[in-house]
Amino acid sequence: MKNKIIEPRLTEAWKSIPMGEDITKAQTHFANIQSIYANPEGFDSDTLMYTVYATKDGTLLWGQTILEPVFVNGECNMTRGHFHVRKDRDEYYWCQQGEGLLALMDESGTCWLEKMRSGSLHHISGQWAHRCINTGNTPLSIIACWPADAGHDYGRTFPIRVYKENGQILLKEHKIMDGRIGDKHIL
């Protein structure tokens, strides 16, 4: 490597997908995440919901998530959402393109939403669960950077559901009672 110029190991075209030998690609279809939706009945299990590209090595990881513009019986497409296992590990999201919401939740279950739009940058405390939600009609692309040892804990349910009806975003409170999901309109 001494005294020579080499190509970068990773590249990103900023309006397309990342490429390089150190990038992994994982696709999530509806069949893999149908349990996170309030009303999954009658929806095509083969539908592509989102794709994640990520670096596979290092102490600091980088990735891109592309959420498709899909609505499951009116509910906006979303990632599973998670806490970090190591609560002292923060993360950053940069919205590359599209429009959506970043759902954040603290340990007590209090949830709030930040608008995501092209160019917005979001700091996520290691204490907060986080989930991306596509509210638009085009793919939502998010760039993320997080410590490799953060870990993922998918064990909690977010208390807010996001729907789009007649072009309007609606929030509904989400509760699980006796094994059934109940939604109450809150916005």
Residue 179's pLDDT band (boundaries 50, 70, 90)? very low
Q: Residue 12: inside a domain, yes or no?
A: no
Do 159 and 109 contact (CB within 8 A), yes or no?
A: yes
| More confident position, 45 or 14 | 45
pLDDT digits (tens, 9 = 90+) for 35-44: 999 999 999 9
Q: Residue 28: inside a domain, yes or no?
A: yes
User: What local confidence, expressed as pLDDT, does residue 181 receive?
Assistant: 43
Buried b / exposed e along 79-100 (16+ C-beta atoms within 10 A): bbbbbbeeeebbbebbbbbbbb
User: What local confidence, expressed as pLDDT, does residue 124 receive?
Assistant: 96
Amino acid at 69: P
pLDDT digits (tens, 9 = 90+) for 72-107: 999 999 999 999 999 999 999 999 999 999 999 999
Which structural domain range is residue 119 located in? 22-157
Q: Residue 17: inside a domain, yes or no?
A: no
Other C-beta atoms lying within 10 Å of the C-beta of residue 169: 17
CATH number where 142 lies: 2.60.120.10
Q: Residue 79: inside a domain, yes or no?
A: yes
Mean of the per-residue pLDDT values of the chain = 88
User: What local confidence, expressed as pLDDT, does residue 57 receive?
Assistant: 86
- Please state, in angstroms and rounded to a whole number, the distance separating the CA atoms of residues 63 and 57: 12
- Please state, in angstroms and rounded to a whole number, the distance separating the CA atoms of residues 43 and 32: 12
Q: Residue 163: inside a domain, yes or no?
A: no
Do 49 and 68 contact (CB within 8 A), yes or no?
A: yes
What domain count does the chain have?
1
Q: Residue 187: inside a domain, yes or no?
A: no
Q: Residue 3: inside a domain, yes or no?
A: no
Q: Residue 180: inside a domain, yes or no?
A: no
User: What local confidence, expressed as pLDDT, does residue 173 receive?
Assistant: 87
Residue 181: is it exposed, middle or buried by C-beta count within 10 angstroms (0-12/13-18/19+)? middle
